[in-house]
Amino acid sequence: MKKIRVAVIQLNSGTDTDANFKKLDDMLSESEEVDLLALPEVFSMRGNKDDYQAAAETIPGKLTDQLMMMAAERNVWILAGCVMEKAGDTIYNSSLLFNRGGEIVARYRKMHLFEANLDDGKKIREGDIYTAGQHPVIADLEGWKCGMTVCYDVRFPELYRFYSERKASLMFVPSDFTEGTGRNHWEVLIRSRAIENQCFIIAPNQCGPNARTGIESYGNSMVVGPWGQVLGRASHKEEIVLAELDPSEIDKTRHRIPALEHRRL
């Protein structure tokens, strides 16, 4: 594995896909060249149940065509946090990885669907929109083995252990993590998954209020190293966080504390 440069894109996406892409292009026009662009969950369109159902499309489709073009034109890998994937009568919350040539090299359908009862009485149930995926997915990014997850998956450490046991050294957690849970849980969960598995975590998040639901997203997109160190962190506004991932840090961490060799279960 070689060192890679990552740009984690934190967005406050609305319901207008074209406007969201225009904003993304504007942000990227002032960014440094990197190897990987990491986009958050619902980066292309953020709204309510009806919006997501209306926006669902097959893969390949119009949205993936745009991402293929972007990856090829910029000669960059793109983690598309999630697209609303239509497969027959079913909709999945799917995360995609595009290579520098614009090809889709991995598709992960979110396995754990978020459900919460908020303090203001509102309920969130992804299961009302999506069907849960059934399979973990490991992707190869220029020698890096990458475990693909989305948002609520981060609460299920067994998924990350599954990837770790199969030599994944980089995990993706594109998210639309809410303000209410984010204040207490976001950093703890992201850093815990990195420390437990002695791997890098890339976690782009949405920020600001969802204009259709009024639910606030936490922001604080993060890149975390295998020692649990925060290599980059966003605030509560739209911005790009840059970080370099050095694979030698994995070896150093696992040499210091060879915890993965000491597992008994």
Residues belonging to the active site? 41, 110, 151
What is the C-alpha separation between 140 and 68, in angstroms, rounded? 17
Amino acid identity, residue 255? H
The beta-strand segments (E) located in 44-158 are 77-87, 90-98, 104-109, 115-117, 123-125, 138-141, 144-148
Q: What token pair was written down for 155?
A: 């609460």
Q: What is the DSSP string of 53-77?
A: HHH-B-SSSHHHHHHHHHHHHHT-E
- Give me the sign of the Cα torsion angle 120, 122, 125, 129: negative
115 touches 127 (CB < 8 A):
yes
d(CA 27, CA 82): 19
